[in-house]
Amino acid sequence: MLTIAISKGRIFADSIPLLAAAGIEPAVDPDKSRLLIIGTNRPDVQLLVVRATDVPTYVEYGAADVGSAGKDVLLEYDSDGLYEPLDLNIARCRMMTAARVGYHPAGQRLRVATKYVKIAQRYFAAQGIQAEIIKLYGSMELAPLVGLADCIVDLVDTGNTLKANGLEPRELIMHISSRLIVNKAAMKMKHAQVTEFIGHLSQFVANA
């Protein structure tokens, strides 16, 4: 059995063609179902529907053999207990700093609100900028509007969310996309099945 950990929403929609390229069709649409373990057209393949930030955990501990996770999630998870053999080139966006339109902080120490604490810490340290990182779990756009932070670090796709809240993108920290991750033991114990799966996905990504 090959067990694939996947999250709902954006990543799942983009993953359907990738799974199809590997001959895998989910039995139900997870966005329309409450099922957390989903069978497929292949008796030897099942999907686990987990939170995006939990995908690396399921894969590292071997509850799933493979999974798809954003580079942002992987950098925050920060483990060397996973293989990351393939950039799936889906769910692409940018990790950026953003601030109120026209606002330029004057103080010595920048206050930065973000869900992406490790990425932000590394970025500002590399820039030689003293930053106080304030951890939030969502709606980061609010923080600069109410004086909680000078700026935020968040994912930007169209930029509409920033714009709607009177913020503007500033510096690009990195480009983000989803990656295939593989459990280290599964790579050995299920070698044929895992490498065949990676092969199909690589071919699809190369031709996309």
Q: Please identify which residue in the block is written with the tokens 């996905």.
A: 201
Report if residue 150 touches ligand AMP, rule: CB under 6 A. Answer: no
Whole-Å CA distances, 15 to 42, 91, 93, 108, 170: 17, 9, 16, 44, 30
Q: Please tell me whether residue 155 binds ligand AMP under the rule CB under 6 A.
A: yes
Given the rule CB under 6 A, which of 34-42, 102-110, 150-158, 186-194 is the region that contacts ligand AMP? 150-158
Please select the residue that binds ligand AMP; options are 157, 172, 189, 195, rule is CB under 6 A: 157
Beta carbons within 8 Å of 37's beta carbon, 6+ residues apart: 46, 47, 48, 49
Q: With respect to ligand AMP, which residue has the nearer C-beta, 158 or 207? A: 158
Cβ 82 to ligand AMP, closest distance in Å? 19
DSSP 85-115: EEE---S-EEEEEEEETT----SSSEEEEES
By C-beta, is 67 or 186 nearer to ligand AMP? 67
φ, ψ dihedrals at 188, nearest 5°: -90, -50
Interface with ligand AMP, residue 54, by CB under 6 A: no
Q: Which residue has the tokens 């179902």?
A: 33
Tokens for 162, please give them: 């920033």
Is there binding between residue 165 and ligand AMP (CB under 6 A)?
A: no
Q: Which of residues 86-125 bind ligand AMP (CB under 6 A)?
A: 91, 93
Q: What Rg, from alpha-carbon coordinates, does the chain have? A: 19
Task: Please enumerate in sequence order all residues whose Cβ is within 8 A of that of 61, keeping only pairs 6 or more positions apart, or say none.
Answer: none
Draw the binding track, 74-93, toward ligand AMP (x: CB under 6 A; -: no contact).
-----------------x-x
User: Rule CB under 6 A: is residue 142 a binding residue for ligand AMP?
Assistant: no
If one asks whether residue 159 binds ligand AMP (CB under 6 A), the answer comes out as yes
67 touches ligand AMP (CB under 6 A): no
Q: How far is the CB of 113 from ligand AMP (least distance, A)?
A: 13
CA distances to 7, 16, 22, 176, 196 from 202, rounded to whole Å, are: 20, 15, 10, 18, 10
Stretch that binds ligand AMP, among 78-86, 125-133, 159-167, 189-197 (CB under 6 A): 159-167
**Which residues would be at the binding site for ligand AMP (CB under 6 A)?**
10, 70, 91, 93, 154-161
